[in-house]
Amino acid sequence: MRYAMVIDTKKCVGCSDCVVACQNENRVPIGYCRDWVIENAKGTFPNVSIELRSERCNHCENSPCVRCCPTGASHYEEGGVVKVTRHECIGCGACVQSCPYDARYSHPDGFVDKCTFCHHRLQEGKLPSCVSVCPTECMYFGDLDDKESKVYQLLQNRDWKVLAPEVGTKPHVYYLI
């Protein structure tokens, strides 16, 4: 099993609902976030285009954060979910520095926090909170090892990219373009 998130930039309207829903679901304190939204504009008026995309931890296959964690708090779960075990985390912040996507933050309660792909919801058979709230349904979640899955199909049939492929992290959040 290999969990992946596929996000359609053609549909995202940049509303940030994914951010608020995540904050509520995961009790992320106000002022912090596990996901965020980016707007990139190209061209000159009136030949302009924009790309909107919701970003978060990429649950990389080759994660610098897991590699550099001195206590083993940062680790892989089943399906490739990268997680932090809070009581093992000493809050040193090495992982925060090593993440090329700036996906981690130091929680005021003294540990490092980031997107978990809503692991607690996956265990209940639910979709991640951001995926299930998104009004445009531009986010898809599933198992890339399953050829029948929507995520697999989308990556077969559409153009896509990952963020910063050059750093070799092998991200598992994909953007349809």
Partner 1 sequence: MNKSRREFIKLSAIGAGGLVLANPLLNAMIGQVNAAEPMDASKIKRFPTYCEVCFWKCAGWVYTDEKGEIWKIEGNEDDPHSNGRFCPRGTGGIGMYNDPDRLKTPLMRVEENGKQTFKEVSWDKAFRFIAEKMNKIKEESGPESLALFKHGSGGAHFGKLFKAFGSKNITAPSYAQCRGPREVGFNTTFGSNINSPEPVDLENTKCLVLIGNHIGENMHNSHVQEMSKAIDRGATIITVDPRLSTAASKSKYWLPIKPATDIALLLAWMNVIVSEELYDKNYIGQYAYGLEDLQAHVADKTPEWAEKITTISADVIRQTAREMAFHAPATLIHPGRHVTWYGDDTQRLRAMAMLNALLGSWGRKGGFYFPEKAKVPTYPHPGYPPVNWTWKDHLDGTYALADSSIANVFVDMSHPENESDYKIKGWFVVGTNLISTIPNTQRTLEAIQNLDLLVVVDTMPMEITGYADIILPECTYLERYDDMRVSPNRFPNVAVRVPAVKPKYLSKPSDWIVRKLAKKLKLSKHFNYESYSEVIDWQLKQMGSSLAEMKEKGVLKMERKTPMFIEEGDYHEFGTSTGMIELYSLDLEMEGFDPIPNYTPHPEPPQGFYRLNYGRAPMHTFGRTANNPNLNELMSENCLWVNPFVAADNNLENGQEVWLKNQDGVVSDFPIKVRITERIGKDNVYMVHGFGRANKKLKRSFGRGISDTQLVTNVMVDPIMGGTGMRGNFVSFVTDKPESEVIS
Binding residues for partner 1, rule: CB under 8 A, are 10-11, 13-17, 19-21, 23-25, 27, 29-32, 41, 43-46, 48-50, 52, 86, 107-109, 111, 120, 132-138
Distance of CA 143 to the CA centre of its chain: 15
Nearer of residues 13 and 70 to ligand SF4, judged by Cβ:
13
Q: Are strands 173-176 and 160-161 parallel, antiparallel or unpaired?
A: antiparallel
Residue 131 tokens read as 């995926």
Rounded CA gap, 150 and 5, in Å?
10
Structural contact between residues 138 and 130, judged by C-beta atoms closer than 8 angstroms: no
Nearer of residues 16 and 62 to partner 1, judged by Cβ:
16
Residues 61-100 that bind ligand SF4 (CB under 6 A): none
Nearer of residues 29 and 168 to partner 1, judged by Cβ:
29
Prior bond of 46 cis (ω within 30°): yes
Residue-wise over 65-78: b if at least 16 C-beta within 10 A, else e? bbeebeeebbbeee
Q: How far is the CB of 23 from partner 1 (least distance, A)?
A: 7
Which partner from the list partner 1, ligand SF4, none does 117 bind, CB cut-off 5 to 8 Å by kind? ligand SF4
Residue from 81, 138, 151, 173 touching ligand SF4 (CB under 6 A): that is 138
Q: How far is the CB of 47 from partner 1 (least distance, A)?
A: 9
Residue from 66, 99, 103, 130 touching ligand SF4 (CB under 6 A): that is 130
Other Cβ atoms closer than 10 A to 33: 21
